[in-house]
Amino acid sequence: MQRVCLALPTMRSCPETIAELHEEAAYAVETFGTEVHLLVLDTTDAATFAENARAVAALAPTPGVVVHHLGEARQREFLRGVAERSGAADPALLLDLMLPQAVAYGSCVNRLFLGAAALGCTSAHLRNDDADFQVVDGRKVFPIHHELLSIGRPAGEAAAGVSRSELDPADADKPVMLVSGSFIGELNVDISEIHELDPAVYRDVVRLWTPPVWPEEDRDAMVDVSFKGAGSEPFETDESVLGVPDIWDVYMCNIALDHRAYEVLPLLPATETIGSDYALLHAMVHSRLPGVVHNRHIVNYYTPERRTGAGFIAYQLRFVKFLLSMLYLYPVYGGMIDLNRELLDERHGLRVEPILGLIRGSVDWDRAGNEHCLDVLDSSYRKLGGKYAELADVVAGQRRQLLDEAQRDAELWAVLVESWGSLVAAARAEGLAAAPAGAADGAEEPTR
């Protein structure tokens, strides 16, 4: 029986999301006969963890669905065992990269990947806690439908389950290691208020994340499509396309990944940096691996804490660090494009060595581009005034720290990539104890 991991990282109260994902897991079991491990990695405080745990306890036991709800202490215990078992020279550093004290989007997904490996799953199906499923005629539109039709299968076989195939016949034997939809609703980066205040400033800010080596017209075109997903058109009927996906059509919170992908390359473990969880998708797309893109898009929404006070400053600083991270990521992505199918081995799997070489080569990139980025942000935020002027003061006060952290994040990514294979093997050996169907696994008080 196929065993898959339906995965949710969370750092907030999300009982409704937990219930919805349990419904999606039950749908997968009923429709495909799959064994689904619903893995919730929870780094909330004690009171919020208890609220999420109550939602888990309220789930109806469902044959074929196994629920694991791990708080921070339980995650730390598992990861410490994995890091020590891996034989790494510095297991404490690896533990910190996997479970840092700060928010780290890439790290939380990396933890899910190791959890999936420990559970013996063949694929990971990633969701988020600030998105809903679309509903048509009273039924939720579950992305796992398209994911389980294709994930892990030879592309030639997967062609029978899609509405359109653009598959190169030469790729028929390659496995489908990526199946993804996108999102509708609000921008997936919370900067729409900047556009409402001043569209010209919005364009200046968003332009900062476009590749500086591109022609001006291409950079402007990228601004027009950035962070918008599939727009606003709701789901009507299923559409799916098999072929080499466009990076703009895949979304990390609505995706299935085969273990032969995420067990090779971990995500950037950058702290306090949004958008740090896409490097693996770039590797798969740029290596020309076949994938499936479908239209069961999720509905993105904003959580209120990121709009005011300290929550606003914290979120916008993560956006600033996202912009700074591109100085080190774009050389890696560009190198992937140049290598193309050379990123794959004879079994059509990703080769980690050339990717690691690209990462190492990016860490000493000239910081002038990031200095310019911070200059533009300072001017832009001060034009907007109000809380954005306050944000400009905070960014200015942390300028050197932000520049240093962006470079250090790239350096630590190389460290993690070097150790990832041994961490995955150690996770498989470590295992993750399964709880009875419908029950929480490791529902303890978190450490913070």
CA dihedral 174, 175, 181, 182 (to 10 degrees): -60
> Could you please report the per-residue DSSP string of 49-99?
HHHHHHHHHTSPP-TTEEEEEE-HHHHHHHHHHHHHHTT-S-HHHHHHHHS
DSSP string for residues in 99-158: S-SS--HHHHHHHHHHHHHHTT-SEEEE--SSEE--EETTEE--THHHHHHHTTSBHHHH
Among 40, 98, 124, 79, smallest CA distance to 269 is for 98
Predicted confidence band of residue 436 (pLDDT cuts 50, 70, 90):
very low
Q: Average model confidence (pLDDT) for the chain?
A: 93
At 447 the pLDDT is 32
Query: Looking at the predicted structure, is the pLDDT value of residue 108 above 50?
Result: yes
What is the rounded average pLDDT of the residues 75-91? 97
Long-range (24+ apart) CB contacts under 8 A made by 345-352 are 348/173, 348/174, 348/175, 348/289, 349/260, 349/264, 350/260, 350/261, 350/264, 350/265, 350/283, 350/284, 350/287, 352/264, 352/265, 352/417, 352/420, 352/421
H or E element in which residue 250 lies:
none
Tens digits of per-residue pLDDT, 155-211?
Answer: 999 999 999 999 999 999 999 999 999 999 888 888 999 999 999 999 999 999 999
User: Could you give the 3-state DSSP secondary structure of residue 17?
Assistant: helix
The two tokens of residue 69 are: 């709800």
- Whether 93 has a pLDDT exceeding 80, the answer reads yes
Is 134 in contact with 234 (CB distance < 8 Å)? yes
